Amino acid sequence: MRVVPVALGARSYDVRIAAGILTQAAAQLSPLSRGRPFVIVTDAHVAPHAARLAALLHNGGLASDIITLPAGEATKSWGQLEALTDALLERGIERGDHVVALGGGVIGDLVGFATSILKRGCNFVQIPTTLLAQVDSSVGGKTAINSRAGKNLIGAFHQPALVLIDPDLLDTLPLRDLRAGYAEVVKYGLIDDPEFFAWCEANGAALLAGDPAAREYAIAHSVAAKARIVAEDERETTGVRALLNLGHTFGHALEAETGFSDALLHGEGVAAGMALAFAYSARRGQCDSGDAARVAAHLQAVGLPHDLASAGITASGATLVGHMLHDKKMDGGTLPFLLARGIGQTYLDKRVDLADVAAFLDELPR
């Protein structure tokens, strides 16, 4: 088992990574038991894993109950937040109890936010079932729902008590979802670790094909990178944690243009967004065009969107920039961008002209 600590003082917790760790769920969760049932929150797609988890807990002498929500991004909504909090209150959840979020980023975000506000703060455990959630959203305490104005605009920082990552859960994940999660793996190399990006170029195909060693290494490396950044800047106050948003400003605009639907998954938007961030950096003369081409080539090689055309976006630059104006990172009327001086050299630029961004986007083929 690989154990990655997230060092946040009194809010510190472990991320435990091991193939088959779900089978050890009773032993892992037993220290958190207070003689009361664990409530497992999942979605319709992950329901079989929830039934298995409940059986494993039962065999270990731990009671549990399951709440199953609809699958999909639309579940990160006011309506589903209300339904979930009502269901938890009906079960008599107490502050000291631990709610288990079993699913991808949607379930993790929703459960995290619900427990942050329920009785002014309850505990939760993350058991992520998608690659994207395992390497990114389950770690760091960002929780949120979407609103009509945009993605993740209603939320809170609320750290889990424990994260259990079982790479074997990826065996049933559709290839498209696996690829979408892989975009977040690549991101860690592009931020500040060129050697890891080179590892991705050499091993990404094997990871996506199900190679256990490649999968576990990539997860552990990504989690360790995120844990280090979160420990340094938990609430994005110094700008260090903002680096984790590489690709997200462009990507969220693309997602908004597709109505945050399955037409473009979050990880696919991030992939295209990272390629656009590098291409825009190259256009400004800040990044070698060869590095930008290398990023796009790797994303294309593994089947991820790498430009507007492959993301299925035909909207004008002005329309896409209009979506960006709802970004939660807006500060004083300006929008910080994550740009790059090269692979592994991401930086935050607070002086980007949005009209220039729109012009750049209009130059790209559709």
Write out the catalytic residue numbers: 120, 142, 184, 226, 236, 241, 245, 248, 252, 266
Q: How far apart are the C-alpha atoms of 125 and 101, rounded to whole Å?
A: 6
- What the block records as the tokens of 338 is 């994550």
Q: How far apart are the C-alpha atoms of 14 and 46, rounded to whole Å?
A: 24
- What the block records as the tokens of 79 is 């309506």
Q: How far apart are the C-alpha atoms of 15 and 227, rounded to whole Å?
A: 9
Contact indicator for 327, 227 with CB cutoff of 8 Å: no
Q: How far apart are the C-alpha atoms of 342 and 290, rounded to whole Å?
A: 9
Buried-state track 71-90, b at ≥16 Cβ within 10 A, e below 16: bebebbbeebbebbbebbee
Q: What is the DSSP letter of 31?
A: G
Q: In the block, which residue shows the tokens 């942050």?
A: 116
Q: How far apart are the C-alpha atoms of 255 and 242, rounded to whole Å?
A: 19
Find all residues with CB under 8 Å of 91, minimum gap 6, and list them. Answer: 37, 39, 65
Q: How far apart are the C-alpha atoms of 156 and 154, rounded to whole Å?
A: 7
